[in-house]
């Protein structure tokens, strides 16, 4: 590791800085994809078929960039995108089960709770990948994640409650 002059410790770790930069890129692209999604939702009935395809393509482009940068929510949303596809004038676009499973696994590996739960459901009910043991593993992981989350909410509630009570 190179020596940096007048820099705080850790600032010269190029690998760590690259990870942070990639994560920030993921955040940026995820936010852009969300803005496009809301714009599509608001103006879906106004756009022509070509405009819809163009905007959905732009949304998908930014969602992919965020997912490849490791953004867990983008990975989950991309998986859902491939699971359900998009219907434009009675034609489905972008539906792809293999890509859906790939991105759902990525999001679950990042411990994104909704993805973990979906992987459990997929392993339980999807005949193409049914595996009861894997379903059990994902359900147990989901339980741990939600208990931790609920525990954090409970602690926050109790802290707020004690502040109110001691007024």
Q: Which residues, other chains included, contact 96 with Cβ-Cβ below 8 Å and sequence gap of 6+?
A: 82, 85
Domain ranges of the chain: 1-107, 111-167
Task: Show the beta-strand stretches assigned E in 13-98.
Answer: 86-88, 91-93
Residue 8 predicted with pLDDT over 60: no
Q: Which residues, other chains included, contact 158 with Cβ-Cβ below 8 Å and sequence gap of 6+?
A: none
Residue-level pLDDT at 95:
86
Q: For residue 128, what are the CA distances in angstroms to 64, 100, 101, 131, 157?
A: 25, 13, 11, 9, 43
Check if the beta carbon of residue 79 is closer than 8 Å to that of residue 100.
yes
User: Among 111, 87, 107, which residue's Cα sits nearest to residue 99?
Assistant: 107
Please report which helix (H) or strand (E) contains residue 21, including its range.
helix 14-43
Query: Residue 6 carries which DSSP code?
Result: S
The pLDDT tens digits for 122-141 are: 998 877 888 888 989 999 99
Check if the beta carbon of residue 23 is closer than 8 Å to that of residue 68.
no
Q: What is the rounded average pLDDT for all residues in the chain? A: 82
Confidence category of residue 1, pLDDT binned at 50, 70, 90: very low
89 exposed, middle or buried (CB, 10 Å; 0-12, 13-18, 19+)?
exposed
């Amino acid at each position: 590791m190179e020596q940096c002059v007048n820099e705080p410790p850790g600032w010269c770790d190029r690998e760590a800085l690259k990870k942070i930069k990639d994560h920030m890129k993921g955040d940026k692209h995820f936010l852009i994809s969300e803005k496009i999604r809301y714009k599509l939702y608001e103006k879906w009935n106004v756009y022509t078929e070509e405009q819809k395809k163009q905007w959905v393509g732009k949304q998908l482009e930014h969602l992919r960039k965020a997912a490849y940068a490791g953004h867990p929510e983008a990975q989950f949303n991309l998986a859902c995108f491939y699971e359900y596809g998009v219907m434009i004038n009675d034609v489905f676009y972008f539906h792809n089960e293999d890509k859906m499973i790939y991105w759902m696994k990525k999001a679950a590996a990042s411990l994104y709770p909704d993805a973990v739960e979906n992987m459990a459901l997929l392993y339980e009910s999807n005949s193409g990948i049914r595996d009861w043991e894997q379903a059990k593993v994902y359900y147990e992981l989901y339980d741990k994640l939600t208990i931790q989350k609920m525990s954090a909410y409970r602690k926050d509630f109790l802290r707020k409650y004690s502040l109110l009570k001691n007024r």
